Amino acid sequence: METAIDMANAKEIRTQIKSIRSTQKITKAMEMVAASKMRKVQTRMAASRPYAEKMRKVISHLAKANPEYRHPFMLEREVKRVGFIIIATDRGLCGGLNVNLFKTAILALRDWRGKHAEADFCVLGAKAIAFFRRVGGKVLAQATHLGDTPHVNDLVGTVKVMLDAYRAGEVDRVFLVNNVFVNTMSQKPSVIQLLPIQGIEDPELQAHWDYIYEPEARELLDSVLTRFVESQVYQGVVENVACEQAARMVAMKSASDNAGDLINSLQLAYNKARQASITKELAEIVGGAAAV
Amino acid sequence: MTFHVDIVSAEHEIFSGSAQMVFAPAEMGELGITPRHAPLLTRLKPGSVRVKTDADEQVFFVSGGILEIQPHVVTVLSDTAVRARDIDEAAALEAKRRAEEALANQTAEVDIVRAQTELAEALARLRTLEHIRKTLGGH
């Protein structure tokens, strides 16, 4: 009777090992996919940097110039309501990447609530939408499934909703919340202020000149500053994709390692159970023979 | 005499180098830019930007964008697609609609994910029950 239990036990352990092994195969494959994708997204991240830099330079020239017209995007005003653009991933299985990001966002939000300012959100990524549905919060616009090769065009609508809210005076400050790629092992959630545009200084230029604007400054500045914000958000999205792949790679690696450890200890248990059943069988036979 | 020219789009760098003259399709008409041009900021129409370097002339298509001229640097911030007020407007409306839909629609993808995890949990619980019943019944 007991022998039968040992055998059943051994069989059960064997199926368990089999199922863990197939999980390990999946996590290993995901790890490798993430590793190969990461190289690509890193080059993409580098490729989008020159635009952001040049844009920043133009904006700094603008801030230093002496224009006849100041755009609302460059003017501070009293804060009654704030806007957050939050960039998360579409898929899970990337460790604590999204959770850490949401924690940071909630902290920033609490901070503003303390100053009696409510918040509106524009969210990118399915995980962010799921989060805000659970937590609650006024989501103005969203975009998901930007993929591993995001395009600026896919963001234009979502960003515009937030910019329109700012223009209409519905929000008085706009923040971008996303993960910043430090290196493969480390991704840091960050909150930066998008609007009003601040803190861009270029000491090289003197403040006694102005551009020739074609067409007039008002309209032109609007396109320049809109593109500036879009490029910041795009940079954030590309960076977040790099973070996602890096985080997934690390998470899947540790999952594969854990599965390996588990398999080893189960294998040991299996061997013991098998040995025990054989020993017992022998003992029974010997006992039976002695009784005769 | 040459000056520095950068042509970039949000998704990648297109050209960076020195040139003798640049032609660009500005909104108010084609511009020919030589070194020491006055500072100028303008929007570009879809068209081609021609860069005349010492050796040859290179042509790049842009679908609109911004042109900034400083006396010794010309920067073309190219758009990645044709932009127009009504197209942007449509994109914004679409983004809003998605947000409303996702918040109203309870059968969206994220809920399926949650349902799947709950199902997996329930199955695991059933398996444990069955296992307990079997081991107890075996005696």
> What is the band of A202 on the pLDDT scale with cuts at 50, 70, 90?
low
What pLDDT was estimated at residue B139?
Answer: 46
Contact map slice: B 2-41 vs A, CB within 8 A: 6, 8-13, 16, 26-28, 38-41
Residue A160 zone, left/alpha/beta (φ > 0; ψ -120 to 50; rest): alpha
Q: Across residues B38-57, what is the average pLDDT?
A: 90
> What is the band of B137 on the pLDDT scale with cuts at 50, 70, 90?
low
Instruction: Note the helical H segments in A65-138.
Output: 97-114, 126-135
Q: What percent of chain B has pLDDT over 70?
A: 88
> 3-state class of A96 per DSSP?
coil
Rounded CA separation A41/A33 (Å): 12
Q: CB-based contact (8 Å) between B42 and chain A? A: yes
Q: Which residues in chain A have their CB less than 8 angstroms from residue B11's CB?
A: 44, 47-48, 51, 151-152, 234
Evaluate whether A88 touches A124 at the Cβ level (below 8 Å). Answer: yes
Q: Across residues B21-47, what is the average pLDDT?
A: 91
**Using omega within 30 degrees of 0 as the cis cutoff, is the peptide bond preceding A215 cis?**
yes
pTM of the model: 0.81
Q: Is B132 exposed, middle or buried (0-12, 13-18, 19+ CB in 10 A)?
A: exposed
Evaluate whether A38 touches A249 at the Cβ level (below 8 Å). Answer: yes
User: What is the CB neighbour count within 10 angstroms for residue A128?
Assistant: 26
CATH 2.60.15.10 domain locations along chain B: 3-84
User: What is the CB neighbour count within 10 angstroms for residue A178?
Assistant: 29
Condensed to tens digits (0 to 9), the pLDDT of residues A70-129 reads 788 888 889 999 999 999 999 888 888 999 999 999 999 999 999 988 899 999 999 998
Q: Is the Cβ pair A47, B13 closer than 8 Å?
A: yes
> 3-state class of A192 per DSSP?
strand
Using alpha carbons, select from A186, A159, A187 the residue that is nearest to residue A175. A159
A229: closest chain B residue by CA = B10
Q: Which residues in chain B have their CB less than 8 angstroms from residue A50's CB?
A: 6, 8, 12-13, 16
Write out the two tokens for B134.
């079997």
Q: Is the Cβ pair B26, A214 closer than 8 Å?
A: yes
B contact test, residue of A11, A23, A41, A54 with most B CBs within 10 A? A54
Residue A167 zone, left/alpha/beta (φ > 0; ψ -120 to 50; rest): alpha
Condensed to tens digits (0 to 9), the pLDDT of residues A231-267 reads 999 999 999 999 999 999 999 999 999 999 999 999 9
What's the mean pLDDT when you consider all of chain A?
88
Least CB-CB distance to A234: which of B10, B70, B113? Answer: B10
> What is the band of A283 on the pLDDT scale with cuts at 50, 70, 90?
very high
Q: Is the Cβ pair B99, A140 closer than 8 Å?
A: yes
Q: Which residues in chain B have their CB less than 8 angstroms from residue A123's CB?
A: 99
Has the ipTM of the complex gone over 0.85?
no
What pLDDT was estimated at residue B107?
Answer: 55
CA distances from A282 to A7, A54, A285, A289, A290 (A): 14, 82, 5, 11, 12
Report the range of poorest mean pLDDT among A201-210, A213-222, B13-22.
Answer: A201-210
In chain A, at which residue ranges do the beta strands (DSSP E only) sit?
81-87, 118-124, 138-143, 173-183, 186-195, 212-214
Q: Which residue has the higher pLDDT, A239 or B131?
A: A239
Q: Is the Cβ pair B11, A126 closer than 8 Å?
A: no
Q: Is the Cβ pair B135, A5 closer than 8 Å?
A: yes
Cα distance from B13 to chain A (closest Cα, Å)?
Answer: 6
Evaluate whether B89 touches A141 at the Cβ level (below 8 Å). Answer: no
Q: Is the Cβ pair B43, A153 closer than 8 Å?
A: no
Cα distance from B56 to chain A (closest Cα, Å)?
Answer: 24
Please, what's the largest Cα pairwise distance for chain B?
98
CATH 1.20.5 domain locations along chain B: 88-135
Q: CB-based contact (8 Å) between B110 and chain A? A: yes
Condensed to tens digits (0 to 9), the pLDDT of residues A129-188 reads 888 888 777 888 988 888 888 888 888 899 999 999 999 999 999 999 999 999 888 999
Q: Is the Cβ pair B102, A129 closer than 8 Å?
A: yes
B88-135 domain in CATH 1.10.10?
Answer: no
Using alpha carbons, select from B102, B111, B79 the residue that is nearest to residue A143. B102
Q: Is the Cβ pair A142, B109 closer than 8 Å?
A: no
A contact test, residue of B41, B97, B128 with most A CBs within 10 A? B41
Which CATH fold would you assign to the domain B3-84?
ATP Synthase; domain 1 (2.60.15)
Q: How many CA atoms lie within 13 A of B137 on its CB side?
A: 6
Using alpha carbons, select from A167, A141, A165 the residue that is nearest to residue A155. A141
Q: Is the Cβ pair A141, B42 closer than 8 Å?
A: no
